[in-house]
Structure 1
């Protein structure tokens, strides 16, 4: 058994609180749906839900083969209503290992299938009409009885009734579950015979439990009257094992045959593909052979033509070589001429660059001269304004001051007029220089149009020389 070798139940429960279970998320999800209306389990993350979580988690760690299965939470919840966590865990371990419930909750659920087979045979024997009706509606036993066996009627009946069945179950084992199941089917036989599959499902969910709860004592008395033959149940168990073994063998044989069939189909497809490939190769080979023969004939004719063409080409090649030699000589001459042309172009570019520099220099000097002319005009205006002021002052002084200060003012007026005369001369000189610059600019434009070539000027620096000459003139 998968649970053998584990620590004792109480010790296993204590160890579970410090160990993480792979089923924790599923357990947390399901405990909120376990007795949601009961006061002990109603509060989320309350004492009841935590106790339920601890016990289920402890068992999932205690028996890792079974782990956690939906339905076990209702059994644990019923136990926690009667006892503390440690005792509930111990009773759960006992129920699982000694009352066939461990095999019921294994991943294969083989024990549940056996119970369904045994119950179906009991129904066929004791309630043949109802069994025939179930078969006519294709209503399988697992559709209504699975939860009865997985939860021991804790989800189908009220808590007092479920507690009573649990007491008998702990005393007599799985026998009471079969008897209660037969008793409930007997109670609802008349109604079930008149319902279809959907109606029967609804009847098993609501009306049948309510009818059983209306008289719990009558249900238990009826359950005790149900026939249960342990030897026959063992015989049914052996039959079920044989049937399942045969089904497994048939499934294995069917799986093997399907695999072989798949392999044979694959092999047939491969052979057909090879056959098609061989046929294609044969046809292609015959076509290629005919094409090769035709190609050989064509190539032979082309070869004769090529031989004749080769002779002509050889003669033409000799003529072409001679022409190449003459062209090479012409290219050498052209290269020499091209080199001299490049030198001339380079020289002209340099001259053009020098002329552009001279133009820029003349433009700069012209701007400077015009600026000085504007400054002199402003100076003359200032001097004239000053003379006018002095003349006004002179008139005023003649009226106020004695004759000896008149001579002083006349001398000052003479000095101002001298300065005005010097400024006029300077302005005249500047205008003359502007005229000279304009004439030089016109001459430069005419020379630029004629494009004279002067090798001596090509290597001079006209901009620097022109600047130097103008500076000497203005000093």
Structure 2
């Protein structure tokens, strides 16, 4: 809460979260959120309807409040896992709301919403970083015509939830709140760099996809302390200015392609 700026925003806006819940709700927003409630962490005992308390209620409240707070985003798939994870961690609706506001509003650039431009751009930025830092894997992707979005979308959309082990994800999120979104590139590059021999054995597109699923399990990611050390060492330098320039060029390319 402190490092992300969420604590300060919550203290500057007392009662704001509850005022969002008290106002009339958009029926379409409510319907979209309710559709995904039972799909959120179905194996977690606290999200089952038989749980007391059932965290589905808190999840619904946080998502509805955020949808009214940020009407440009509203609600889209993936946000349910982000909010659910925050509720599990913080055990408090209002805290979860303000942490989500910090993530979606400031830390992650345009990841969620109708266009998902920031999400699409960052997947392409990863491709550019792989071209620079793990060129053999980049060439393999080019040779087999594999789009980065095909293999890394779950990594970015859900910020590695249900991709990596829980303890490892929690440590990644610590860094995400403290250092910002470029931490996602460090994680992705480390996974690819450490497993490039396995990836390079792929003979076709399905092979590539299967290997990208395999590289998110195993000893490397289960030892969360060693993995976190690796993500700050393996990828080498990753300055904010270079990431910003890549984001600008990738965004421009995507916009030009869609227009």
Q: Secondary structure at the match of 1:104?
A: coil
Root-mean-square deviation (CA, aligned residues, Å) is: 2.1
Q: Describe the shift of the 1:235–1:39 C-alpha distance in structure 2 as closer, same or farther (beyond 3 A).
A: same
* 1:388 match: none
Distance 2:101 2:14 in 1: 7
Say whether 1:180 aligns with 2:187.
yes
Name structure 1 gaps, 5 residues minimum: 1-6, 252-475
Q: Which one has a larger percent helix, Structure 1 or Structure 2?
A: 1
Query: How far has the Cα of 1:200 moved from its partner?
Result: 2.6
Structure 1 residue aligned with 2:224, among 195, 198, 216?
Answer: 216
Counterpart Cα distance in 1 of 2:143 and 2:188? 21
TM-score scaled to structure 2, two decimals? 0.85
From 164, 171, 183, the counterpart of 2:171: 164
Task: Spell out, residue by residue over 1:204-224, the C-alpha distance to the aligned partner (whole angstroms, 9 max, x if none).
Answer: 33x222224333233222211
Aligned to 1:25: 31
State the partner residue of 1:40: 46
What is the aligned partner in structure 2 of residue 457 from structure 1? none
Report the number of matched residues.
Answer: 241
**What CA distance in whole angstroms lies between the structure 1 residues aligned with 2:128 and 2:22?**
44
CA distance in 2, matches of 1:224, 1:10: 39
Q: Displacement of 1:18 after TM fit?
A: 4.8
Matched, 1:237 2:247: yes
- Tell me, yes or no, if the aligned pair for 1:10 and 1:87 is still in contact at 8 Å: no
Q: How far apart are the structure 1 equivalents of 2:125 and 2:172? A: 19
Task: State the structure with more CA Rg.
Answer: 1
- Per chain length, whose mean CA-contact separation is higher, i.e. which structure has more relative contact order (CA < 8 Å, sep 6+)? 2
Distance (whole Å) between structure 1 residues aligned to residue 14 and residue 201 of structure 2: 49
Mean Cα deviation higher: 9-18 or 43-52:
9-18
List aligned pairs for 1:47-446, cutoff 5 A: 47-83=54-90, 84-101=92-109, 103-195=110-202, 196-205=204-213, 207-211=214-218, 212-225=220-233, 226-227=235-236, 228-244=238-254, 246-247=256-257, 251=259
In structure 2, how many angstroms separate the alpha carbons of the residues matched to 1:9 and 1:151? Answer: 29
Unmatched 5+ stretches in structure 2:
1-11
Paired with 1:43 and 1:200, the residues of 2 have a C-alpha distance of 38
Contact 1:137 1:197 (8 Å CA) reproduced: yes
